[in-house]
Amino acid sequence: MNEILFLVEEAEDGSFRAQAVGAAIHTEADTIEELHRELRDAVHCHYEPGEAPPLIRLHHVRQELLTL
């Protein structure tokens, strides 16, 4: 595996949540910079040494609610 994909959502309070696709890894943080650090740490903790994919891809998801 060359990379792991995370779906990233921004909460109403401005914090960020990330969930891996196809793996039981998730984390959250107050800023995007902090999220980057938390994601690297979570991936390293999830995999055995030397087995973690070298790339982490983030897919930012934005949900909007429109009323009529």
Q: Give the per-residue SS3 of 43-54.
A: HHHHCCCCCCCC
Residue 51 pLDDT greater than 90, yes or no:
yes
pLDDT in tens, 4-39: 999 999 998 999 999 999 999 999 999 999 999 999
Higher-pLDDT residue of 65, 32 = 32
Record the pTM: 0.87
Query: For residue 41, what pLDDT band results from cuts at 50, 70 and 90?
Result: very high
d(CA 20, CA 27): 9
Q: How many of the other CB atoms lie within 10 Å of CB of 61?
A: 12
Domains of the chain in start order, with CATH, are 3-61 (3.30.160)
d(CA 60, CA 9): 6
Residue whose tokens read 């903790």:
45
